[in-house]
Structure 1
Amino acid sequence: MNLYPLGKFLCSVIFKPLYRVKVIGRDHFPKEGGVLLCTNHIDNFDPPVVGIACPRDVHFMAKEELFSVPVLKTVLPKVKAFPVKRGMSDREAFRKVLKILKSGEVVGLFPEGTRSTTGELGPGLAGAGFFALKGDAVVMPCAIIGPYKLFKPLKVVYGKPIDIAPYRERRASSEEVTEVIMTEIRKLIEQNK
């Protein structure tokens, strides 16, 4: 059972008025085809906020521990979330991401791997670059610009797609491509503060 439309509606009703969510650059988002959506991570509310701001359904990786919480283990798969083991190479999760991208859907990824405790953009992990190089999908940078304060504006900003083709052609490393993605996210944050 797919609860994504219901979840998106409920999150919109809650988050849009509470945090005055403003979406910028939605027109940059591809209407079809695989998309790797890479965004900074400043709060536990980031996945639902990105989900309501995105014009398409988003599959999110979520830390494996959440899938052992009684209510969440039932709900998360029904809102297109899937588990990832943190701190190690999780081949099953990697295969799942590539499969989703190749099927023409959207995967939401937080390249930092964890929430920033300062609100500042942290370093990205090589996984983002790996998926960008191997996923054969459009790579979309996105910035969440907060902080999350009740009734204060919160922005979700989409940049233009990043052209990964030149990096694929010259066999760039995952680390280099991750840095390209992080640079684009950083620019979005700086330009839209």
Structure 2
Amino acid sequence: MSFYKFICSILSFLARILYRVEIVGAENIPDEGNIIVIANHKHFLDPVFMLIAIKNRRIIPVAKKELFDVFILKNILKKLEVIPIDRGNPSISTVKEIINQIKSGRILGIFPEGTRCMGNNFLPAKPGVAMFAIKTKADIVPMSIITNFKLFSKVKIVIGETIDMAEYKKRKVNKEEYAEISQKCFDVVVKNYFANMKGVIKE
């Protein structure tokens, strides 16, 4: 068993003890092809829930570079092949590494808002999602993580149907369009969030 699978199995075990996890739409993650999974971001545990929800593909771990300053985390992150990123100013080498990973068959899991947004509110999507999708000719899968994050509460992870990006693969896309395309895709995450929140969190 690889270190990645070992960590995933531990996280999945712990998550299911501490929360009542329900995964809806796992079949919507294609077994092959360039794919980017986008999700809302409200808690530091969101990457864990994304990780345990996707079992048929390996996710490209991307984390803010500050986490590599934490001694306990540093070696674990390196073993998981986590890519450090400066969220305010991503380097060209980091962007190229992520693009190469997507093209190699791994899934990019990303939170378009760029940072956490509490409650039932959402921040505008950053343009990076569209940029990565267009550069790698990837389609996008929306994931909505719905929970109040309290111990032993329900966590509902809704994986929506693939958003076909064929329209943008056939023509040249201006950089100015990136934010608009990213937001259009993230709107699906938000829509699925509100459509599935009943019985999980208060409106």
Q: Which residue of 2 aligns with 1:191?
A: 195
Give how far 1:95 is off: 0.7
Given the two structures, how large is their TM-score scaled by the length of structure 2? Answer: 0.89
Pairs within 5 Å for 1:4-153: 4-55=4-55, 56-153=57-154
Contact 1:40–1:112 (8 Å) recurs in 2 = yes
Do the aligned partners of 1:60 and 1:109 also contact (CA within 8 Å) in 2? no
1:164 aligns with 2:189: no
Q: Please tell me whether the aligned partners of residues 42 and 119 of structure 1 are also in contact (alpha carbons under 8 angstroms).
A: no
Q: Can you give the 5+ residue segments of structure 1 that lack an aligned partner in the other structure?
A: none
Q: Distance in 2 between matches of 1:13 and 1:50?
A: 14
Alpha carbons 2:138, 2:165 under 8 Å: kept: no
Q: Which amino acid aligns with 1:144?
A: I
Change (3 A) 1:138 1:80: farther
> What root-mean-square deviation, in Å, do the aligned CA atoms of Structure 1 and Structure 2 show?
1.6
More deviation in 161-170 or 125-134?
161-170
Cα drift, residue 57 of structure 1: 1.9
Moved over 3 A (4+): none
The structural deviation recorded for 1:110 is 0.7
Instruction: Name the stretch that deviates more: 21-30 or 130-139.
Output: 130-139
- Where do 5+ consecutive residues of structure 2 fail to align? 198-203
Further displaced range: 112-121 or 139-148: 112-121
Cα deviation 1:52-79 (Å, max 9, x = unaligned): 1112221121000101211211101222
Report % sequence identity: 33
**Structure 2 SS opposite 1:157:** strand
Count how many residue pairs are aligned between Structure 1 and Structure 2.
193
Distance 1:77 1:191 in 2: 38
